[in-house]
Amino acid sequence: MIAIAGGILIMLGIASGVLLTLAPFGVTGAEPGLITWGMFPVLSTLGYVFIATGASGATVAMLSRVMGGITLLLALGAVVALFAADNGLLTLQAASTPLWYVLGMGIVFGVAGINIGARVEQETRPPAQ
């Protein structure tokens, strides 16, 4: 049950990040409020913790890498969007602040998640004979 709750929290956290990334372009029609800004890092992290606390080392390694990869992809999407908007390739309908937020958070959580996954995998791997 805790893993299911963790999965739901992760989905809501990532969906918040996607909403924040798309909002400046008017694609979704939504205007993310402060709660959505907080949901991206907080719910993603809580969901991760919910799943990781009851998981094996191999599962934690995989989960860390997947979560890190997803948040790093969000960060890359944000930086591409900022680049395209700055060079007139895309038109922003609102301020670019959410893109900068997703970029910063995504890089931090993405790199950390991928590195934690690699470290956990290395430490839980049986020794070579």
In this prediction, residue 129 has a pLDDT band, given cuts at 50, 70 and 90, of low
Q: Is residue 113 part of a domain?
A: yes
Q: What is the pLDDT of residues 18-64, one digit of tens each?
A: 999 999 888 877 788 899 999 999 999 999 999 999 888 888 999 99
The verdict on residue 29 lying in a domain is: yes
Domain membership flag for residue 91:
yes
CA distance 100 to 114: 21
| Closest to 69 measured CA to CA, from 117, 24, 21, 35 | 117
**Residue 107 located in a structural domain:** yes
Q: Token pair 């893993």 is at which residue?
A: 3
Q: Tens of pLDDT along 52-103?
A: 998 888 889 999 999 999 999 999 999 999 999 999 898 888 888 999 999 9
Print the domain residue range for 48.
Answer: 2-122
Question: How buried is residue 109: exposed, middle or buried, by Cβ count under 10 Å (0-12/13-18/19+)?
Answer: buried
In the chain, the number of structural domains is 1
Residue 70 lies in a domain: yes
- pTM, entire model: 0.87
Cα separation, 49 vs 70, in Å, equals 16
* Torsion sign across C-alpha atoms 69, 71, 74, 80: negative
Q: Which of 79, 123, 116, 73 is nearest to 101 (CA)?
A: 79
> Does 104 map to a domain?
yes
Question: 11 lies in a domain?
Answer: yes
Domain-embedded: residue 127: no
